[in-house]
Amino acid sequence: MTLRRLCPALFVLGIVLMIPFEAWYTRLFGVLALVGFVVTGVFLIASPDYLARDPQADDGR
C-alpha cells in the first residue's frame, strides 16, 4: 500500500473509531490512527520528489 492510499485510509479509520464508539480502546486506536495519518502526511509532503518539483511548471498533479 502506498502512502497516498494509506494516509486517507488512516484518517477515515481514525474518525470511524473516534466518533461512534466511546470505549477507551476504540479511542486509543482512533488516536493512534490519526497520529499515523499526520505522520504519513508529513512523509508525503517531505518526500524528495515533492520537494524537488518546480512550482512554476506545475501540470496540475
**27 three-class SS:** helix
d(CA 22, CA 36): 20
Write down the pLDDT at residue 2: 87
Scanning the structure block, which residue is given the C-alpha cell 486517507? 8
- Encode the chain (61 residues) as per-residue pLDDT tens digits: 788 899 999 999 999 999 998 899 999 999 999 999 999 999 888 877 777 777 776 665 5
Pair 48, 11: CB distance under 8 Å: no
The pLDDT of residue 61: 56
- 58 class by beta-carbon count within 10 Å (0-12 exposed, 13-18 middle, 19+ buried): exposed
